[in-house]
Amino acid sequence: MPELPEVETVRSGLAGRATGEILESLVVGHPGILEDCTPRDLSDLSGFRIERFDRIGKYLLVRLSKRPALRTLVVHLGMSGQFTFQAATEESVEGFVRMPSGYVKTKGPPEPDRHTHLAMGCRSGARFLFRDPRRFGRILVLDGWGYTGHPRLDRLGPDAISLSESALAVRLRERGGSRAVKAVLLDQSVLAGVGNIYADEACFEARIRPDRIASRLTGPARTRLARAVLAVLGRGIANAGTTFRDFVAADGEAGRNAEDLRVYARAGEPCLVCSRPLSGGIVATRGTVWCPHCQK
């Protein structure tokens, strides 16, 4: 679901197309997705210009300015969140786009529906939509442009792909503790950005059982794990994210990484290395898949 590679795919897609837009009308559908802010705080962003898009872990940070004021719109996609952008030139009517040849069905961003919890119209006529059927996503408005300033952000460890392989290995040693390797990878205060899919993929690539106690890993195993984390996240970004059901990039396109996954959602199917059946179970309260032969 939206983990670091998916959020990075959204961020880079927006950075290229939506930077410079000026917000005009901000309409909240379901206030439950707002955290520590009100619909009024959102509508007060009218007139702010989008200066850049940043990301830390699974959080998208939309940097806004108006005269001396700086704000950050923080977006977390939860499990099923979609944050899409439709440029003014892509005039659409109920799922259709007007082209020179007439109206044609669009494969682009979704149209507003009962799962659309925030719509942001821009002065240019462009539009952002935040859609999230399961409503695990959250939106916050913060003063300033920091990477801290709210408990959610203050708790985060370093962004996973901001670390070198050796720094990541050190981090895993210092913050490993007496819990499963998978629990450590999922702990956003250790490392920000890894979720259930990439945790399983990283453990497989490092040939480490996800239920191994982290503090008992050898040095070489930690190094393999650090390398694997960076590798699987890098592949995910290169493939524009993993789409199982809901994830789409800012332009509405699905990611291509699902076909590159080696263990996630493949319990019972043959291991791509040894051909023995993959095991499935619960580790750190999450559905987990691993190869009992290849991962020790």
Binding site for DNA (CB under 7 A): 1-3, 32, 57-59, 76, 78-80, 115, 133-136, 151-152, 155, 177-180, 183, 186, 188, 195-197, 245, 264, 284-287
We find the least distance from the C-beta atom of residue 83 to DNA, in angstroms, to be 14
We find the least distance from the C-beta atom of residue 281 to DNA, in angstroms, to be 9
Q: Which residues contact 205 (CB under 8 A, 6 or more apart)?
A: 228, 231, 232, 262
We find the least distance from the C-beta atom of residue 145 to DNA, in angstroms, to be 19
d(CA 262, CA 252): 25
Q: Smallest Cα–Cα separation from 22: which of 41, 52, 46, 54?
A: 46
User: What is the identity of the amino acid at 17?
Assistant: R
296 is catalytic: no
CA 186 to chain CA centroid, Å, is 13
The nearer residue to DNA, 75 or 240, going by C-beta atoms, is: 75
Chain position carrying tokens 């959204």: 10
Q: Which residues contact 98 (CB under 8 A, 6 or more apart)?
A: 91, 92
Q: How far is CA 262 from CA 60, 235, 265, 266, 271, in A?
A: 27, 12, 9, 8, 8
The nearer residue to DNA, 81 or 108, going by C-beta atoms, is: 81
The nearer residue to DNA, 155 or 296, going by C-beta atoms, is: 155
d(CA 259, CA 201): 12
2 is catalytic: yes
The nearer residue to DNA, 23 or 283, going by C-beta atoms, is: 283
Q: Which of 11, 58, 63, 152 is catalytic?
A: 58
Q: Which of 2, 109, 133, 210 is catalytic?
A: 2
d(CA 165, CA 148): 25
286 is catalytic: yes
Residues designated as active site = 2-3, 58, 286
